[in-house]
Structure 1
């Protein structure tokens, strides 16, 4: 049985192989499949027999070894036959498939080449037909149809040129022809357009001036002069032809620039200009005339109607026609000519309206903000009119958005105006001064909430503070001038700057939260700007001129004085601040005080240096018995006194009395201290030298205190000569030195009084001993006196 089945399997494989080696050398599709199917069935049968044999042997224990060997031999033969068949399929069948695919690919490529050639020929025919139609339509002035055919030819040529690897010499010739015909029709349309919109411009190239605007005219025609209306050379056909050829934007850009420079912008900039229309038989003439005044900035409610009239004329006589679409144009919308011109001029026109009109219409006071509703309404109507004429897109709201945001623009304008005014005041001359007294004060404007019974925003004055009966006696009450700024001179510009700060804070107290906060910080910015600008801008004068240094000192102290209470005066009026209305400027007070003090101290150091330099020419006050030495010392002392008197004239009446006395006392003390040190350094003083030194010192004592005499207009100030020792620490020491120069040895010892006298209060024992050694010869009396000085 096994042998029979093996033979059958072998014959099946042989049959399959034999069929595969036919005379044609190819396997027939249906026979090969049937044989492979039979072989597969036989393999399945063999699988069942193997499983049955294994079952009998290992499960039923049947002696079938011989059958198993036969089956194994048959399986090996079948496996070998299958491998041969598989190899034959992979070689011969695959080769046949490759040949068939190559033949099919070649046929397909041939078909594609034929289709491409046919398409190119068809496009060449389309280009030729379009050029023939164009050549026929152009002389008839049918510009729209002619432009469409020319555009169609251009699209076909561009499509042919885009095909990679496809080149024809005829394409270059067609391209040259299309360029020539395009320039031809553009030249014709350009000449037609020049006759449809005729400008008469001034000879001067200056644009925007009133004179050039009055010499400008624009003639708009619906048809070209000398042509019948049926010819088709209307403004609409010319403009649509330019649009189809992509030239309209360029033409409108030139036209729009002329329109802006010579018509629209002058109407915005010059309030007196009005547009004047003149209807003629074949055209409309637009010109400008001057009516009324030329002063100030025009209001938007006046400018918008002027611009609207000009644009309405253009829309009616030139632009109110949709652009025709050529065949093949798949765009959904049909824009009108007005949209094209609007896109060209609107950006520059809106910027000019904002810069030269709307900006100047922003109110300068919050009380006028309510009147700005008229401007917003006029702006809205103007934009809507332009949208109705299709000059503007529906989503364009540039002007209206700016106008509606008036609160922010008002705040920005207010801040800009205040900063500009403040900088101008800071850069003004410092020497233009005004007198301030304890009675004078910055006029504080009425603030919101000052009504009777409403003290939420009122100034807290001493007279309104509740005082219980018996708490304070009348005689113990503070003076009305307590904490008042002392009488002095300040710059007029600083007084105006302080008034500006009060006015700005008043404006802030009546505004919204955001506006109040913005103006509050603006005032702080002004004061910060002061200490940056003034010392730098006036640096040279502050260093060289003592008068300006004194005025600057007063200015800084004046500002610091007001900053102490400025925030308190407006407490509760300013909303929107992070400190819940507790606005304060107190943190700026030390900065301004330091700014004024440092400037004045620098001037004091310079004056001290000049005093010491003059005293250095006194030859150390030695050998003043010599005429030359005495003359030098006398000259030096007189120069010192002259400098002190000159400073006194400059500073007196400008500085507060106490500051003036301290400053002059310090300088006089510097001179006295230098003279004292020079005399104490002398080792030998003769009697004649002592007399002349005394004379020099007497000059200082007599003329030095004159700088403390009040001015005639300040008679209420008492003379301060008797208080010189308070401001000149070396004054008593200097007078004691004079006494020593004229005293004998016993008088000196009496004033020493065992270290308890006035001489001991001013000089040290070593200094007194040196003076005695210099004044008196070495005798027993001198030795005894020196021994007593301890």
Structure 2
């Protein structure tokens, strides 16, 4: 079979020498049949096709004969291979039958033996595991006893802790034994006893107590820790049983909440025992002021020095109790001391800000000390983190201080007064020492003189509260600080200055409300304060801008919008006071016989008393207002009240239909008292005639009450006399009818009054 395969291979290797003609059927058909010629028929074409087929058949035979393949040999070789394959199949079937009959029985028997052996091995391993676990439990208990004999908390805790870890996740089968339950309960009881003993040892080494009384709190600290075998043993044992973090956390929280934070906020007295192991801190609640930063740093340095003496020793690799203490509270401590102490050291004025280095130096020194005692790590913590926003903090601090100072000033007594202003406003402002030569400048100054009143630059002589001047001085001081500050602080101070006047509007009327509604002098001073502040607000923005000259300011500086608001505040309470005074005058008149003259022949004594009371009221106002208000303001205010008073007296007479001779005489007497008293209520008697509109009419009314008809006729003078000037036709006719009987002369006179 191998020989034949070799021959076949040799023959087939010659196939590359065979060359056959390639036929294209389409080309042959086109050569036989002309497709473009529609006259051909199948009978004509068939002979040609047969001839072509015979030609191809002959060529095929020739090609096969010329081929190097031995086709019969190939067929013979294929038959031999088929016979050999059949023999191999028969042999395989025979082998399969023998395997199934003999070998499989032995294999099945071996598998059964293997399963039995595996079960026996598993049983032995299970028993071995249980025995091993029981021995391990005994080993842990034995190690505990050894640690107990050696008085080693660490070794005892380690053995019990390992035992509890082991019984916490027991292997299968061991948890079904009674020894497992006994070991678990025993381990838990032992661990509880150990923790109790360790807690007692800890409490002996760290004793923290606090007692609170009515006005003070006392904190006692006693420590005996040190780098001793017992102390290290206790700490490692607590660490092994996961109780050290809890103890350190409790100590840290007590230290922070009951010692460090109170030191930041309250007065503290520290007393140390002679042996140096006991410390006593007394916090006095009666002292309301917060301690200064240097006092806080001093007390805290003392506290940390004390505790580091007992806690700053290594009990395991690179670990001390001071390090653990710092990990617990250093971050919170930093935030609290910055918020409660160091933020308050930020100065409230620019002068203190320039000398702030001594504060930061003290804080840096304190921070270095905390790193030395290992409360702070070497890097990562800084007590001066707030310094990155020092400009904003300064602005906030200065603003708060200024507003608090302003509020304190506003609460002061308004009656503490001072004189201010000029007696007389100059008619022409001072000429410039050197006259400008520029024509445009001269023209601009001329327009300025004509359009802006000279009084804009001067404030009339009057009295104001000293607190108003203090408030203005505070604003000017704020301006001066703003010039020397950074952009952030400067803008904040500008807004603060504006807030001062907003605060004035809210605080002063509210705080002094009772006095402003009841005491005329308070109202006068408050009015002047508002006018004085408004006067300065007109130019305050320009002054500020001049001071800020050279600085890049990207916001508008102006106080003009507050001017009218401040004036309106003064007007409001002055108007309320005038209305109150007017009401009192009218009430006095209307509560007497002057209220209704109809049907009366004679007035009672209360009429004259009411008039005199009104005059006393006006005189009192004169006494408390003269010299307080500016001259012109005082004159106009008194003139307004006097004019109202006179109009009321005139109205009472002009509305009566019948006035007896006796009543006319009484009215003349009372009204003459008014004429005598009123001029003395002004700076000069000429002011009455100039500012009291009803003064001439009132005097003419007195004349009417005591005159005859002929006198009246002469004063009428055909509509050209004083009566025609001050009285209307209706008023005059009504007065004549009320005062005189109906006679022909009266009728003739009345007919002339038209």
Normalised TM-score (structure 2): 0.71
The aligned counterpart of 1:468 is: 436
The aligned counterpart of 1:143 is: 153
Residue 732 in structure 1 maps to residue 670 in structure 2: no
Return the alpha-carbon distance in structure 2 between the equivalents of residues 665 and 349 of structure 1: 70
Return the alpha-carbon distance in structure 2 between the equivalents of residues 465 and 484 of structure 1: 20
The aligned counterpart of 2:338 is: 354
Instruction: Give the direction of change, closer, same or farther, for the CA distance of 1:204–1:766 in structure 2 (3 Å limit).
Output: closer
Q: Is the contact between residue 235 and residue 315 of structure 2 (CA under 8 Å) also seen in structure 1?
A: no
Instruction: Give the direction of change, closer, same or farther, for the CA distance of 1:653–1:136 in structure 2 (3 Å limit).
Output: farther
2:237 corresponds to which of 236, 241, 253: 241
How far is the alpha carbon of 1:150 from its aligned partner?
A: 3.4
How far is the alpha carbon of 1:598 from its aligned partner?
A: 0.8
1:787 corresponds to which of 740, 751, 754: 751
Q: Is the contact between residue 483 and residue 490 of structure 2 (CA under 8 Å) also seen in structure 1?
A: yes
The aligned counterpart of 2:226 is: 222
Residue 402 in structure 1 maps to residue 386 in structure 2: yes
Return the alpha-carbon distance in structure 1 between the equivalents of residues 503 and 372 of structure 2: 50
**Structure number with larger C-alpha Rg:** 2
Deviations 1:32-67 (A, max 9, x none): xxxxxxxxxxxxxxxxxxxxxxxxxxxxxxxxxxxx
Deviations 1:683-730 (A, max 9, x none): 11222222211111111111122221xxxxxxxxxx332121332211
Q: Is the contact between residue 598 and residue 656 of structure 2 (CA under 8 Å) also seen in structure 1?
A: no
Residue 185 in structure 1 maps to residue 194 in structure 2: yes
The aligned counterpart of 2:89 is: none
Q: Is the contact between residue 527 and residue 574 of structure 2 (CA under 8 Å) also seen in structure 1?
A: yes
How far is the alpha carbon of 1:205 from its aligned partner?
A: 5.3
Instruction: Give the direction of change, closer, same or farther, for the CA distance of 1:740–1:626 in structure 2 (3 Å limit).
Output: closer
Instruction: Give the direction of change, closer, same or farther, for the CA distance of 1:246–1:687 in structure 2 (3 Å limit).
Output: same
Deviations 1:219-262 (A, max 9, x none): 43427xxxxx6xx41x2222232233333344334434555578
Gaps of 5+ in 1: 1-106, 224-228, 325-333, 441-460, 709-718
Instruction: Give the direction of change, closer, same or farther, for the CA distance of 1:700–1:351 in structure 2 (3 Å limit).
Output: same
Q: Is the contact between residue 509 and residue 573 of structure 1 (CA under 8 Å) also seen in structure 2?
A: yes
The aligned counterpart of 2:403 is: 419
Deviations 1:493-520 (A, max 9, x none): 2221111111111111110111100111
How far is the alpha carbon of 1:522 from its aligned partner?
A: 0.9
Q: Is the contact between residue 248 and residue 321 of structure 2 (CA under 8 Å) also seen in structure 1?
A: no
Residue 365 in structure 1 maps to residue 349 in structure 2: yes
Return the alpha-carbon distance in structure 1 between the equivalents of residues 127 and 546 of structure 2: 89
Return the alpha-carbon distance in structure 2 between the equivalents of residues 616 and 206 of structure 1: 62
Instruction: Give the direction of change, closer, same or farther, for the CA distance of 1:623–1:146 in structure 2 (3 Å limit).
Output: same
2:324 corresponds to which of 335, 340, 359: 340
1:635 corresponds to which of 582, 606, 609: 609
Residue 771 in structure 1 maps to residue 746 in structure 2: no
Q: Is the contact between residue 601 and residue 662 of structure 2 (CA under 8 Å) also seen in structure 1?
A: no
Return the alpha-carbon distance in structure 2 between the equivalents of residues 206 and 191 of structure 1: 32
Q: Is the contact between residue 725 and residue 732 of structure 1 (CA under 8 Å) also seen in structure 2?
A: yes
Aligned-pair Cα RMSD in Å: 4.3
Matched residue of 1:489: which SS? Answer: strand
Instruction: Give the direction of change, closer, same or farther, for the CA distance of 1:479–1:560 in structure 2 (3 Å limit).
Output: closer
Residue 498 in structure 1 maps to residue 472 in structure 2: yes
Instruction: Give the direction of change, closer, same or farther, for the CA distance of 1:285–1:677 in structure 2 (3 Å limit).
Output: closer
Return the alpha-carbon distance in structure 2 between the equivalents of residues 655 and 306 of structure 1: 57
1:649 corresponds to which of 623, 638, 648: 623
2:678 corresponds to which of 704, 717, 730: 704
Residue 603 in structure 1 maps to residue 589 in structure 2: no
**Structural mapping, 1:381-392, within 5 Å:** 381-387=365-371, 389-392=373-376
Return the alpha-carbon distance in structure 2 between the equivalents of residues 669 and 677 of structure 1: 12
Instruction: Give the direction of change, closer, same or farther, for the CA distance of 1:670–1:267 in structure 2 (3 Å limit).
Output: closer
Q: Is the contact between residue 315 and residue 338 of structure 1 (CA under 8 Å) also seen in structure 2?
A: yes
Matched residue of 1:753: which SS? Answer: helix
Matched residue of 2:657: which SS? Answer: coil
Return the alpha-carbon distance in structure 2 between the equivalents of residues 521 and 665 of structure 1: 41
Residue 748 in structure 1 maps to residue 712 in structure 2: yes
Q: Is the contact between residue 488 and residue 656 of structure 1 (CA under 8 Å) also seen in structure 2?
A: yes
Matched residue of 2:659: which SS? Answer: coil
Deviations 1:292-322 (A, max 9, x none): xx99987656754764465355445433315
Q: Is the contact between residue 543 and residue 603 of structure 1 (CA under 8 Å) also seen in structure 2?
A: yes
Instruction: Give the direction of change, closer, same or farther, for the CA distance of 1:723–1:318 in structure 2 (3 Å limit).
Output: closer
Instruction: Give the direction of change, closer, same or farther, for the CA distance of 1:207–1:173 in structure 2 (3 Å limit).
Output: farther
The aligned counterpart of 1:622 is: 597
1:318 corresponds to which of 301, 311, 322: 311
Return the alpha-carbon distance in structure 2 between the equivalents of residues 428 and 123 of structure 1: 88
The aligned counterpart of 1:62 is: none
The aligned counterpart of 1:329 is: none
Gaps of 5+ in 2: 1-115
Normalised TM-score (structure 1): 0.68
Return the alpha-carbon distance in structure 2 between the equivalents of residues 750 and 657 of structure 1: 39
Matched residue of 2:604: which SS? Answer: helix
Return the alpha-carbon distance in structure 2 between the equivalents of residues 117 and 598 of structure 1: 104
How far is the alpha carbon of 1:766 from its aligned partner?
A: 1.1
Return the alpha-carbon distance in structure 2 between the equivalents of residues 740 and 368 of structure 1: 77
Return the alpha-carbon distance in structure 1 between the equivalents of residues 597 and 311 of structure 2: 104
How far is the alpha carbon of 1:416 from its aligned partner?
A: 1.6
Return the alpha-carbon distance in structure 2 between the equivalents of residues 119 and 670 of structure 1: 118
The aligned counterpart of 2:483 is: 509
How far is the alpha carbon of 1:626 from its aligned partner?
A: 5.0
The aligned counterpart of 2:560 is: 586
Return the alpha-carbon distance in structure 1 between the equivalents of residues 357 and 547 of structure 2: 26
Q: Is the contact between residue 323 and residue 336 of structure 1 (CA under 8 Å) also seen in structure 2?
A: yes
Residue 671 in structure 1 maps to residue 645 in structure 2: yes
Instruction: Give the direction of change, closer, same or farther, for the CA distance of 1:120–1:519 in structure 2 (3 Å limit).
Output: farther
Q: Is the contact between residue 523 and residue 573 of structure 2 (CA under 8 Å) also seen in structure 1?
A: yes
How far is the alpha carbon of 1:379 from its aligned partner?
A: 2.9
Instruction: Give the direction of change, closer, same or farther, for the CA distance of 1:147–1:775 in structure 2 (3 Å limit).
Output: same
The aligned counterpart of 1:722 is: 686
Instruction: Give the direction of change, closer, same or farther, for the CA distance of 1:149–1:427 in structure 2 (3 Å limit).
Output: farther
How far is the alpha carbon of 1:646 from its aligned partner?
A: 1.6
Instruction: Give the direction of change, closer, same or farther, for the CA distance of 1:138–1:545 in structure 2 (3 Å limit).
Output: farther
2:457 corresponds to which of 483, 487, 493: 483
- For these two proteins, the number of residue pairs brought into alignment is 618
**Structural mapping, 1:255-294, within 5 Å:** 255-256=251-252, 259=255
The aligned counterpart of 1:568 is: 542
How far is the alpha carbon of 1:608 from its aligned partner?
A: 0.8
